[in-house]
Chain A
C-alpha cells in the first residue's frame, strides 16, 4: 500500500464519519460538526494529492487547503449564527422541527 493510498483511506474514513454524523444527528450544531469533518477530509485529500503528485515543490495544494479552511471558517461562523438565531426564535435546535420551508 502506497503512502498516498493510506492518506486517502484515512480521508475517506473521516468523510464517512462526518457524513454519518450530519445525516443522523438531530441537533443542528452536531450536524455542523459533521459537515466540518467532511470538509477536513477533503482538505486532507488536497494535501495528500499535492504531496505525492508530480509537482510537490509548487505550493498549490497547500494554498487550496488554506483557502478551503478559510471558507470553512466563514461557513461555520454563518452556520452557528443561523443556529443561534433559530434557537432564539424557536427555542430549539432540533432539525426535525425546523420544517417551515416545506413546499
Chain B
C-alpha cells in the first residue's frame, strides 16, 4: 500500500518535472493573447494575465510540495533542439529545491503584484498593454528560473531585459521614463555581453550548455575538472574566468556596482513594475544565476576555502551594499530610497553567495523579495493616496490617514532593517553576517556589511519619519487606497514576518532544503559559539540606526524649504550623497564622452572619407552610364531600326500577293497542283 503511494508520488513528480515548461509557457501565451486584443477589453486582459499566473503559481506549488517531499532529489530534463554537424544544442528544464523555491516565490509575489496592479493602473488608458507586458515578463522570469540549459536561460534572460525596458518605459511620453528605459536596457546589455561570452566559452570548453545531464552536464564534476585543469592567464583557471564573466552578467541584472546606475532611474516606471522588477524578480535573476551555476563558481575550492570568483563576488557585493546604502541616506524620492536600498540588499545577497553559499544568499533573496515588494507596493499606495506625489518632504503624518498602508509599511521597514527575532530580514541578514564573520580571507567585508546594516536602519527610519510622522506638508489631503491594493500588502506583510521562521539557527529548514538534507527543530542551534554575540551586535546596530534616525527626524521632519537635518551637519558630504556620488557624472565624462567623441570621429569619417569614396564610385558609374547611353542610341538602336525597316519592306511585298479574291488563290492552287503533277510524272519517267 505504501509502496503504491510512493510510486504514485514518484510518477506525479516525474510528470510535473517533464511538463515544468508549462509554468513559464502559460503566462507567455497569455501575453500573446492579450497582445492581439482590443484596447477596450480591460477586464479580459487582466483576467487572462492573473488567471495564467495563478495557474503557474498552483503548478509551482505542486512542484514545491513534491520537492519538499523528496529532499535531495532533482528532476533535470533535456532534449535536442537542433543539430549542426555533430554538435547538438539541447534545451531543458530542472526541478530541484533551488528552482522550486524561486519559482514559488516569483509566481506568488508576481500574482500579488498583478492583483495590486488592477487598483493601481485603474485609470490608465493602456491598461491592456500593461497586463500584456506583465504577463510576458512573469513568463520570461519563470523561464529563467526553470532553465536547465544556459541557452534557454539566456533567451529568457533577454526577454526579461526586453520586458523590463517596455515596462520601465511604459509611460513613454514622459521623457524621463523613456530615458530610464533606454538606460536600463543599455546598462544591463553591458553585463549581458559578458554573460554571453561566458556562455560561449563554457560551450567551447565543455561542448554542452545543459547544466545537469546525468553526469555530462556543463557544471557537473567531470566538466568542472576539465575546466579547472586549464589556465586562462592572470593566474585564473578557466572555471574562474567563466565564473567571473557570468557574474558580470549577473551584476548587470542585479544592479551591482558599477552597473547599478540603471536601477534607481528605473523608478520612472509604474510602481507595480518597480515592485515586480526591482524587488522580487528581475534583480533577483542575477543572484539566482550565480546560485544556479554555483558549482562552477565554487569549483576548485578546498575545504572551507574560497575561489577567485567567489572572492570577487563577495567584495563587489559588500562594496555595493555599503555604497548604495550611503546614497539612500540622502535621497528624497520615496521610490528612489527604496531603489538604492534594493541595490544595497542585492549586494548583501551577492556577498551572502560569495561568503556562505547558495542557501545563505538565496534565503536573503526570498525574504527580501517579500518585504521589498511590500515596501514598493506600500510606497505605491502612498503615492496613489497623495495624488502622485513622490517627494517625501511633501508628505508627513500619514499614519493616521492611511492606517493599513502604515501598518504594513512599518512591518516591511522593520523586516528590511533586520529588527530582531520577529522579522524575516533579521534572520536572513544574520546568516550573511555570520558567514562573513567566519570568512577566512578577510574581515573587512564583515565590517562593511555591519556598517551597511546600520545605514539601512537609519535611512529607513528617516524615510518612515518623513512619510508617516510629523505634520502634513503636502497640498491636497491624502486618502487610503482601495482594498485591492491593501489586501496584497497585508498578505506580503504576513510573509515578511513569517518567513523568518524557516531559517532560524534553531530550525534552518530552508538551508537544509536547498542543500538536500532534512532537519528537525533543535534549540541547540543557538548554542554555536559566537552566535549570541553576533545576534547581540546586529541587534545593537539595528537599534543604533533606528534610534539615530528617530532622534534626527522623528516627529519633526523638516519641510521642503528647510535643509535636511544631516545637511546642517555636513553640507558638503550631503551634497555628494544627494548627487549619488557622481557615478552618473563619471559615466557621462568617461564612457559617454568617449562614445560621443567616437561618434563625431565616425561622423567625420562618414562625411569626408567614406562619403568621398561613395561619391567617386557614383561619379564613375554616372560616366559609365553616359557611355552606355551613347552606345545605345547610336549603335544598338541604329541596327535595330534598320532591321525593322527591312522587315517592313518585305512585309509590303508579300502583302501584295494577298489580293482578297478567293478565286485568285484557287487559281494559284490549281496551277501549283498541275506543276507538281508534271514534276511527279517527269521524275517517274527519268
Contacts and interface: CB of A to CB of B under 8 A. Distances in A.
A101 B670 contact: no
Interface string B632-659: 0000000000000000000000111111
B527 interface: no
A48 B659 CA distance: 38
B302 interface: no
Contact of B657 (A22, A31, A100, A103): A103
B663 A101 contact: no
A20 to B, nearest CB: 10
Interface in A62-103: 95-96, 98-103
A23 interface: yes
Contacts of A98: 660-662
Contact of A103 (B656, B662, B663, B666): B656
Contact-size category for A: 10 to 19
A23 B667 contact: yes
Nearest to A97: B661
Nearest to A22: B666
Contacts of A95: 661-663
Contacts of B657: 103
A28 to B, nearest CB: 8
A100 B660 contact: yes
Contacts of A31: 662-663, 666
B660 A101 contact: yes
Interface residues of B, number: 13
A99 B666 CA distance: 14
A23 B663 contact: yes
A78 B505 CA distance: 114
Contact of B658 (A23, A96, A102): A102
B661 A99 contact: yes
Nearest to B657: A103
B660 A99 contact: yes
Given A103-B655, A103-B656, A96 B661 contact: yes
Given A23-B666, A23-B670, A103 B658 contact: yes
Contacts of A23: 663, 666-667, 670
A19 interface: yes
Nearest to B658: A103
A23 B666 CA distance: 7
Interface string B657-686: 111111100110010000000000000000
Q: Which of A31, A99, A100 has the most CB of B within 10 A?
A: A99
A103 B654 contact: yes
B667 A103 contact: no
Contact of A99 (B655, B659, B670): B659
B670 to A, nearest CB: 6
A103 B657 CA distance: 7
Nearest to A101: B660
Contacts of B661: 95-96, 98-99
A103 B662 CA distance: 13
Interface in A37-82: none
Contacts of B667: 23
A36 to B, nearest CB: 14
A73 B659 CA distance: 28
A72 to B, nearest CB: 17
Contacts of A99: 659-661
A22 to B, nearest CB: 6
Contacts of B656: 103
5 contacts: A22-B666, A98-B661, A100-B660, A101-B658, A103-B654
Interface of B: 654-663, 666-667, 670
Interface of A: 19, 22-23, 31, 95-96, 98-103
Given A31-B662, A101-B660, 5 more contacts: A19-B670, A96-B661, A98-B661, A103-B656, A103-B658
The 7 closest A-B pairs by CB, nearest first: A103-B658, A102-B660, A99-B660, A103-B655, A101-B660, A99-B661, A95-B662
